[in-house]
Amino acid sequence: MSQGGAPLVMSPLMWAPEVWWSLFGHFIALSLMSIGGAITLVSDMHRRLVVDDHLLSDGDFTAAIALAQAAPGPNVLFVGLFGWYAGGIGGALISMLGIMIPSTTLALAVARWVSTRRHWLSVQAFQAGMMPVTVGLLLATGWVLAPPLATQPRALLLSAVVAVLVWRTKIRLIWLIGAGALLGAVGWV
């Protein structure tokens, strides 16, 4: 951990079992709450990693999410980047194990159980009830990531336009990401 609120800077090869155990415990606890994906838990991850433990700076936290979202593959990769920034290679591996093992095991077991019970009213009600939970968790994530937008009206406008386009159209996300990158490259945002 750091002192004085400054983020802890580690070498990728540094031996840091106390940081690794902290990361593992945090991500294993969050794993079973990751309804809608790990991205829905970003607000709690921010609280723990940036505000409480000072393992990451705000900039590193946001950069990890942006990098993982832009990279091909599952969007849960940002958890590995959090671990990398906080605890090197060991932190990356342990963070991914913590976030993946419980939720993957539960998802496989539930999928098998539900596949034979889709017609049950209770199963249908549960699925319908989880939709607003997922939306709420995603809104909490947006709330954590959005504060820099308050000082940049163009970025706020772009975010609102993209949100409406994602909601109301079938435009592929890669085109919206490309448009945002282009607007950033020309200095509009």
Number of domains in the chain: 1
User: Residue 127: inside a domain, yes or no?
Assistant: no
User: Residue 128: inside a domain, yes or no?
Assistant: no
User: Residue 141: inside a domain, yes or no?
Assistant: no
Helix axes 58-70, 77-115, angle to 10 degrees: 60
- Domain hosting 68: range is 1-120
User: Residue 9: inside a domain, yes or no?
Assistant: yes
Token representation of residue 157 = 């406008």
> Which is nearest to 158 in space by CA: 123, 183, 132?
183
User: Residue 60: inside a domain, yes or no?
Assistant: yes
Q: In this structure, which amino acid lies at residue 165?
A: L
Q: Which stretch of 16-25, 37-46, 144-153 has the lowest confidence by average pLDDT?
A: 144-153
Q: Is the pLDDT of residue 124 over 70?
A: yes
Instruction: Tell me the C-alpha distance between 50 and 30, whole Å.
Output: 16
pLDDT value of position 2: 46
pTM for this entry: 0.65
Instruction: Tell me the C-alpha distance between 78 and 162, whole Å.
Output: 21
Q: Is the pLDDT of residue 173 over 50?
A: yes
Instruction: Tell me the C-alpha distance between 109 and 103, whole Å.
Output: 10
Q: Is the pLDDT of residue 91 over 60?
A: yes
User: Residue 125: inside a domain, yes or no?
Assistant: no
Helix axes 153-168, 173-185, angle to 10 degrees: 160
User: Residue 87: inside a domain, yes or no?
Assistant: yes
User: Residue 162: inside a domain, yes or no?
Assistant: no
